């Protein structure tokens, strides 16, 4: 375990490390000796901390969800291949499980022309400070697609709104699907309406500060989550969904699973998104013992709006 707070890290048997200071982060790695893998659980400013790992031959598991940062790390593929290190990107729920469901639905329709991903998060869950910051920071991004009304197992029919999760930018490259869109809603319908009603206002830093503070205090709703992937090819349509509780915990479980596989030494060197590694194809099933359920929703349940 590592973080900027030396006392907290020491209490958990870890060390002080700051991914915002790549030179210092490199010295920390050197001081620890032969580090097999680093699990990046916070978004650094750029790909420099990932470079510090890969040039030392240290493996990397990254839960980040920002397109620009994942693209930076993907650009380190030749470096990782040369040093023999493996990096796995798109680890978590979204991106992560969404990428894996998308791949499955894509294969079932024989190569999707369009994929729609829907993410429902529990507004009652205590999301971490960095995850809340990430969500609020991305709220003002111009929507890349219209809203989608779709059925989410256990949550009924929901309207979800375009949100810049990285999966929709990765999958066109890894699957060759030209149109991919990811949309977000919360389990609380009023909070979903309030959140997306504030899209324009969220361009102002003061509004983002207020939203950050509000989301850390308001816990309306439960801790359940759902993700759904719909793949379309002509008249063919295939959908998969996953439901569970506490997406932060499930992100940690996915990261633990990927790290165990990486430490097993059987993953190829280089930088890969999770859906590019066949060993993770059945990962959704392996989460059943942690209360994550795989569903096959009836196709035809989604309608594009607006
Ligand atoms: N892929 C997915 O499905 C998924 C799901 C949930 C979250 N996420 C991503 O996961 C990340 C973490 O979210 P979270 O909710 O766990 O956040 P969090 O509760 O704020 O935790 C962030 C952790 O990183 C440490 N940290 C912060 N800045 C650091 C730095 N510069 N150098 C080293 N350590 C630092 C913090 O400890 P110190 O304060 O001691 O440094 C803390 O332990 C976010 O980027 C979020 O977007 C991804």
DSSP codes, 212-269: HHHHHH---S-SEEEEEEEEEETTEEEEEEEEEE-HHHHHHHHHHHHHHHHHTT-SPS
Percent of the chain with pLDDT over 90: 81
**Residue of minimum CA distance from atom 26 in ligand 1:** 3
Mean pLDDT of the chain: 93
- Using CA atoms, how far apart are residues 7 and 124, in angstroms rounded to an integer? 29
**Residue of minimum CA distance from atom 11 in ligand 1:** 42
- Using CA atoms, how far apart are residues 89 and 52, in angstroms rounded to an integer? 16
Cα-to-centroid distance, 63 and ligand 1 (Å): 9
| Domain assignment present for 263 | no
Residues 137 and 64 in one domain: no
| Domain assignment present for 292 | yes
| Domain assignment present for 256 | no
Tokens linked to 30: 């050197």
Residues 141 and 289 in one domain: yes
Task: Find the mean pLDDT for residues 173-200.
Answer: 94
| Domain assignment present for 206 | yes
Cα-to-centroid distance, 43 and ligand 1 (Å): 7
Q: What is the pLDDT of residue 44?
A: 94
Residues 118 and 218 in one domain: yes
| Ligand 1 atom with the shortest distance to the CA of 1 | 43
Residues 107 and 226 in one domain: yes
Cβ neighbors of 233 (< 8 A, separation 6 or more) are: 109, 110, 111, 112, 113
Least confident interval from 163-172, 273-282, 296-305:
296-305
Residue predicted with more confidence, 2 or 258: 258
> How does pLDDT run across 201-236, given as a tens digit for each residue?
999 999 999 988 888 777 778 999 999 999 999 999
Residues 51 and 145 in one domain: no
Residues 73 and 102 in one domain: no
Cα-to-centroid distance, 230 and ligand 1 (Å): 29
Residues 213 and 69 in one domain: no
Q: What is the band of 305 on the pLDDT scale with cuts at 50, 70, 90?
A: low
| Domain assignment present for 116 | yes
| Ligand 1 atom with the shortest distance to the CA of 49 | 32
Residue 298 has pLDDT above 60, yes or no: yes
Domain stop point among 34, 57, 89: 89
| Domain assignment present for 49 | yes
Task: Find the mean pLDDT for residues 111-131.
Answer: 91
Domain stop point among 60, 89, 118: 89
Q: What is the pLDDT of residue 278?
A: 97
Ligand 1 binding pocket (C-beta < 6 A) is 3-5, 8, 17-20, 41-43, 63-65, 92-96, 127-131, 134, 248, 251
Residues 139 and 29 in one domain: no
- Using CA atoms, how far apart are residues 261 and 187, in angstroms rounded to an integer? 33
Tokens linked to 27: 């010295």
Q: What is the pLDDT of residue 304?
A: 54
CATH number of the domain residue 103 falls in? 3.30.360
Domain stop point among 89, 111, 132: 89
Residues 11 and 37 in one domain: yes
> How does pLDDT run across 28-60, given as a tens digit for each residue?
999 999 899 999 999 999 999 999 999 999 999
| Ligand 1 atom with the shortest distance to the CA of 248 | 6
Residues 54 and 127 in one domain: no
| Ligand 1 atom with the shortest distance to the CA of 135 | 47
Q: What is the pLDDT of residue 301?
A: 53
Contact 35, 9 (CB under 8 A): no
**Residue of minimum CA distance from atom 24 in ligand 1:** 42
Helix H or strand E encompassing 195:
helix 189-197
When divided into structural domains, the chain yields a total of 2
Q: DSSP string covering 28-79, please?
A: HHHHH-S--EEEE-S--SSTHHHHHHHHTT-EEEE----HHHHHHHHTTHHH
| Domain assignment present for 260 | no
Contact 89, 272 (CB under 8 A): yes
| Ligand 1 atom with the shortest distance to the CA of 95 | 1
Q: What is the pLDDT of residue 221?
A: 81
Residues 56 and 127 in one domain: no
Residues 126 and 241 in one domain: yes
Place of tokens 């659980």: 41
Q: What is the band of 300 on the pLDDT scale with cuts at 50, 70, 90?
A: low
| Domain assignment present for 271 | no
Range of the domain at 188: 97-248+284-304
Least confident interval from 7-21, 54-68, 86-100, 245-259:
7-21
Task: Find the mean pLDDT for residues 170-181.
Answer: 98
Q: What is the pLDDT of residue 217?
A: 78
Contact 71, 50 (CB under 8 A): no
């Amino acid at each position: 375990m590592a973080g900027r707070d030396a006392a907290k890290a020491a209490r958990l048997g870890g060390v002080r490390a700051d991914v915002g200071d790549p030179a210092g982060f490199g010295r920390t790695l050197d001081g620890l000796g032969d580090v097999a893998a680093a699990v990046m659980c916070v978004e650094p400013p750029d790909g420099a901390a990932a470079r510090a790992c890969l040039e030392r031959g240290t493996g990397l598991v990254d839960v980040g969800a920002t397109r620009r940062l994942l693209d930076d790390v993907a650009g380190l593929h030749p470096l990782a291949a040369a040093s023999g290190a493996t990096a796995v990107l798109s680890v978590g729920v979204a991106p992560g499980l969404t990428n894996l469901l998308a791949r499955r639905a894509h294969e079932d329709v024989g190569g999707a022309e369009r994929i729609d991903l829907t993410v429902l998060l529990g507004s009652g869950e205590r999301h971490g400070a960095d995850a809340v910051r990430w969500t609020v920071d991305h709220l003002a991004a111009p929507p890349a697609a219209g809203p989608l009304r779709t059925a989410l197992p256990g949550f009924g029919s929901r309207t979800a709104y375009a949100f810049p999760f990285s999966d929709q930018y990765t999958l066109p490259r890894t699957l060759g699907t030209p149109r991919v869109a990811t949309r977000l809603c919360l389990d609380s319908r009023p909070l979903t309406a309030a959140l997306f009603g504030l899209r324009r206002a969220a361009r102002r830093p003061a509004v983002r500060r207020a939203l950050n503070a509000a989301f850390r205090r308001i816990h309306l709703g439960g801790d359940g989550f759902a993700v759904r992937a719909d793949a379309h090819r002509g008249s063919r349509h295939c959908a998969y969904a996953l439901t569970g509780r506490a997406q932060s915990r499930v992100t940690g479980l996915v990261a633990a699973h990927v790290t165990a596989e990486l430490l097993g030494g059987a993953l190829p060197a280089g930088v890969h998104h999770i859906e590019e590694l066949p060993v993770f194809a059945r990962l959704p099933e392996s989460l059943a013992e942690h209360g994550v359920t795989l569903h096959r929703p009836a196709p035809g349940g989604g309608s594009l709006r607006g």
